[in-house]
Structure 1
Amino acid sequence: MEYDREGPSLPSARGPLSAAVRDHLRGTGPLPAPEAVAAADPYGDDLQLALYQCYELHYRGFAGVCPDLEWDPELLRVRGALERVFLAALREDTPVHDSVDEAVGDLLVEPVDGNGVSHFLRDKGELWHLREYAAQRSLYHLKEADPHAWVLPRLWGRAKAGMAAVEFDEYGGGRADRVHARLFADLMTDLGLDTAYGRYLDAACAELLATVNLMSLFGLHRSLRGALVGHFAAVEITSSPGSRRLAEAMRRTGAGPAAEFFYDEHVEADAVHEQVVRHEVIGGLLEEEPELAPDVVLGIDATGLVEDRLAARLLSDWRAGRSSLRVPLPSGISHTS
């Protein structure tokens, strides 16, 4: 994975909102009216892609798009309108636990007869399923840990120290070759995928975009710092068992050593991170700001909601023998075991 100074190309539009945002970034058109945003499907392709484009300006940006547009007042106004629609739907649709302890407790319980995506890939997945999964997830994993880093200046004491410790591991512990985004790019190489940042944006489904947008939404708003901590907890606590199943899937299909290593690394690292997140990050945050407990619960449960929606989409397509991608991948892969 070489560093691309230009950033990815702007994506193809999926409706009037994403088209208007794209055209504004190109300098060729007006932004959408507030009433058009308010009427949009909060989980649909058009709104999610429009929001993703707005958020990406805070990460690597897009090729040919002026970096100063990150703080364009009119674009921020539209982003805020998109966020309000998305957040309102999340608050309405998320089945919220009564307490942080209850929400975290449920994360710690592994289902006896699991039927999620990692179970499917471990037991029945073929290489084409694994390639699609990696292509979809690349929109996050090629910037792994970046959305969570936004919360660091908004924390204090134990919460900040614990969060920084976990992020340090995610960024390779000071070693560029162990940065988790780098390890995921190596996984993609084993699977014969293009490792360019943002390469599969046009192919990713709306449900995947929502999982990435959720962490950007929480991370970019200081008022939602509790929700970002909840999201981070949900990811870290559930990562180790899921990664173990995905590592088994990579081994069973002969995906390649780097593909196996990425998930093996997460099995070990995230088992440790789970303890730090529970006791230091959540514990430290609520010790300083106990009033944020409902937001932590929202972050945990909203993560479950968007991940369940993604799982339903992937499994529905795969069980029917269909591609889960809007733009299917070429059939050949370069790796041979």
Structure 2
Amino acid sequence: MRRLPPAARGPLSAAVLDLVTAGPPDGTARPEPAGGGDPWGEDHQLALHLCYELHDRGLPGAHPGWEWDVGLLGFRQSLEGPFLAAVRAEAGPVPPLAELVEGMLTATGDGGPSGHLLTEGERWQAREYLVHRSVYHLKEADPQLWLLPRIHGPAQAALMTITFDEYGAGRPERAHALLFARMMADLRLEPSYGHYLDAVPAPALAVVNLMTLFGLHRSLRGAAVGQFAAIEITSPPGAARLAAALARLGAGPDGTLFYREHIEADAVHEQLVRRGVIDELTATEPELAPDIAFGIAAAGAVDERFAAHLLGHWRAGRSSLRSALPDGPGGAGRLG
């Protein structure tokens, strides 16, 4: 399915779209810097996502030369600064790295959205959850690949081992992005990349924007390690809940394979990321420990905002998307 440009959500995202779809860059474009708005807001997060997509799959109708246009990079900086400041404020004082890692290993709770879907979720909520997560999982691990040339030695080797698994460990049909697409199709969702971008709200975009922000900046490589570690260490329990929830709601084998794969894979990755990446990296570069801790705290803060958005809307019987799916609130409870 052919990708279409998303709709702007305000002057910032409109400026990006107008610029990159007008033709190739000529070196003279200088968008007005962002300032004064809400860095968590729809316009700010979409504008940042659009800038980042120029480094990934590109934007429909955009000349590839815009990726490194100086004027657009300056505009992107004006988006990144307020977002990073807002994340730091949301994360608050960051505990020591060892304390954070131990907390992730021993965490208990109701499981957030995955726990809700397991115990009381409905069909429309499960489908919405996959739409939100498609913004990341259809390009699984791509943002973390920016890390590979920025760490070296045993830590780099361990990170490469983890990402090799994310892309199917030599078997293209087992690549996690493809498994997610198959899951979407099983749940009667459109699995093409970027299809639901207009429907996905700012809290979900912020989760992915944080990954790319950390990955693109060498100065934030410690934070990128922390964010990646948070995913790998905490995901097995959530994956188990989601696989069980989708099975409860009638998903077929393709509809649970992605999460079943993550129950086992991320249990192994948790060991690798702790011992092979974090321990090895901090042994040679101990000054990175506070940055890694910040990455973990930042990921948790942004994930909590996303979870609060989902649960707040679902418990009120409202769609959590900007535009509800056809099988929206009030629809049947099972996927079959």
TM-score tier after normalising by the smaller chain length: over 0.9
Distance in structure 1 (CA, Å) of the matches to 2:118 and 2:335: 20
TM-score, with structure 1 as normaliser: 0.94
Find the counterpart in structure 2 of residue 75 from structure 1: 72
After TM superposition, the structure 1 = structure 2 runs for residues 1-337 of structure 1, keeping only pairs within 5 Å, are 8-27=3-22, 32-34=31-33, 37-111=34-108, 113-331=109-327, 337=336
| Structure 1: gaps spanning 5 or more residues | none
The Cα offsets for residues 214-267 of structure 1, whole Å up to 9 and x where unpaired, read as 000000001100000000000000110000000010110012211211111000
Distance in structure 1 (CA, Å) of the matches to 2:259 and 2:192: 20
DSSP 3-state at the match of 2:198: coil
Which amino acid letter does the alignment assign opposite residue 252 of structure 1? R
Conserved in 2, the CA contact under 8 Å of 1:96 and 1:298?
no
DSSP 3-state at the match of 1:38: coil
Identity of aligned residues (%): 55
Distance in structure 2 (CA, Å) of the matches to 1:265 and 1:248: 13
Q: What is the deviation of 1:299?
A: 0.4
Which amino acid letter does the alignment assign opposite residue 63 of structure 1? P
Q: What is the deviation of 1:150?
A: 0.6
Which amino acid letter does the alignment assign opposite residue 239 of structure 2? S
DSSP 3-state at the match of 1:173: coil
Which amino acid letter does the alignment assign opposite residue 33 of structure 1? E
Distance in structure 1 (CA, Å) of the matches to 2:9 and 2:320: 16
Distance in structure 2 (CA, Å) of the matches to 1:302 and 1:114: 21
Distance in structure 1 (CA, Å) of the matches to 2:31 and 2:313: 32
Q: What is the deviation of 1:98?
A: 2.5
Q: What is the deviation of 1:303?
A: 0.3
Distance in structure 2 (CA, Å) of the matches to 1:100 and 1:249: 33
Distance in structure 1 (CA, Å) of the matches to 2:291 and 2:162: 21
Point out the more displaced range, 232-241 or 92-101: 92-101
Q: What is the deviation of 1:109?
A: 1.8
Conserved in 2, the CA contact under 8 Å of 1:17 and 1:32?
no
Conserved in 2, the CA contact under 8 Å of 1:190 and 1:258?
yes
Distance in structure 1 (CA, Å) of the matches to 2:310 and 2:184: 19
Distance in structure 1 (CA, Å) of the matches to 2:93 and 2:276: 23
The Cα offsets for residues 80-127 of structure 1, whole Å up to 9 and x where unpaired, read as 11001111111222134321101111111232x415111001101111
Distance in structure 1 (CA, Å) of the matches to 2:192 and 2:95: 42
Which amino acid letter does the alignment assign opposite residue 132 of structure 2? Q
Point out the more displaced range, 284-293 or 223-232: 284-293
Which amino acid letter does the alignment assign opposite residue 32 of structure 2? A
Conserved in 2, the CA contact under 8 Å of 1:237 and 1:270?
yes
